Structure 1
Amino acid sequence: MKTKILILLSAFAVLFAVDANAQKLKKFGSSVEKKIGPKTIKVPYTEVVSYLGYAAPGNEDEVKDNKKFYYIYVWVPLVAPELGVRMMSPVGKTKIKGATKSASYEENAGSSDYFDTYITLERSDIVSKDKISEEGVKAANWTTLERNDDSSEMPKQPSGRGYNSLLRYKSVAGDPLKALTVGLYRIGFTTYKKGEVNGTFLAQVAAPVKIPGVVMAKTIEELKKGL
Structure 2
Amino acid sequence: MKNTRSKISLIALTLCIALATEMSAQKLGSFGSLTEKTVGPKTVKVPYTDVITYLGYAAPGNEDATVDGKKFYYFYIWVPAVAPELGLRMMSPAGDTKKIKGAIKAADFDANAGSEDYFDTYITLERSDIVSKENLNEAAVSKAKWVILERNDDSSEMPSQPSGSNYNSLLRYKSEVGNPTKALTVGLYRVGFTTYKTGEVNGTFLAEVAAPIKLPGVAVAKTLEELNNQLK
1: CA distance, partners of 2:130 / 2:119? 31
For structure 2, the 5+ residue unaligned runs are 1-13
Aligned twin of 1:83: 86
2: CA distance, partners of 1:146 / 1:167? 7
1:103 match: secondary structure:
coil
2: CA distance, partners of 1:158 / 1:218? 26
2: CA distance, partners of 1:21 / 1:37? 33
Q: Which amino acid aligns with 1:27?
A: S
Distance change in 2, residues 1:143/1:16 (3 Å)? closer
1: CA distance, partners of 2:107 / 2:223? 12
2:178 match: secondary structure:
coil
Q: Which stretch of the first structure deviates more once superposed, 54-63 or 17-26?
A: 17-26
Aligned twin of 1:156: 160
Identical pairs, percent: 70
Alignment size in residue pairs: 217
Aligned twin of 1:71: 74
Q: Say if 2:85 is the partner of 1:54.
A: no
The equivalent position to 1:212 in structure 2, one of 200, 213, 216, is: 216
Q: Can you list the C-alpha shifts for 1:59-81, whole angstroms capped at 9, x where unaligned?
A: 00001111111001000001000
Q: Can you list the C-alpha shifts for 1:27-86, whole angstroms capped at 9, x where unaligned?
A: 110011111112211100010011100000000000111111100100000100000011
2: CA distance, partners of 1:141 / 1:103? 27
Aligned residues of 1:118 and 1:192 also touching (Cα < 8 A): yes
- TM-superposed CA distance for 1:213, in Å, is 1.1
- TM-superposed CA distance for 1:17, in Å, is 9.3
Aligned residues of 1:73 and 1:185 also touching (Cα < 8 A): yes
Q: Which amino acid aligns with 1:194?
A: T
Aligned residues of 1:19 and 1:93 also touching (Cα < 8 A): no
The TM-score with structure 1 as length reference comes to 0.91
Aligned twin of 2:183: 179
Q: Say if 2:225 is the partner of 1:221.
A: yes
Distance change in 2, residues 1:74/1:162 (3 Å)? same
Aligned residues of 2:48 and 2:212 also touching (Cα < 8 A): yes
Structure 1 segments of 4+ aligned residues over 3 angstroms from their partners: 14-21
Structure 1 vs Structure 2 CA RMSD: 1.9
2: CA distance, partners of 1:112 / 1:62? 25
The equivalent position to 2:113 in structure 1, one of 85, 92, 109, is: 109
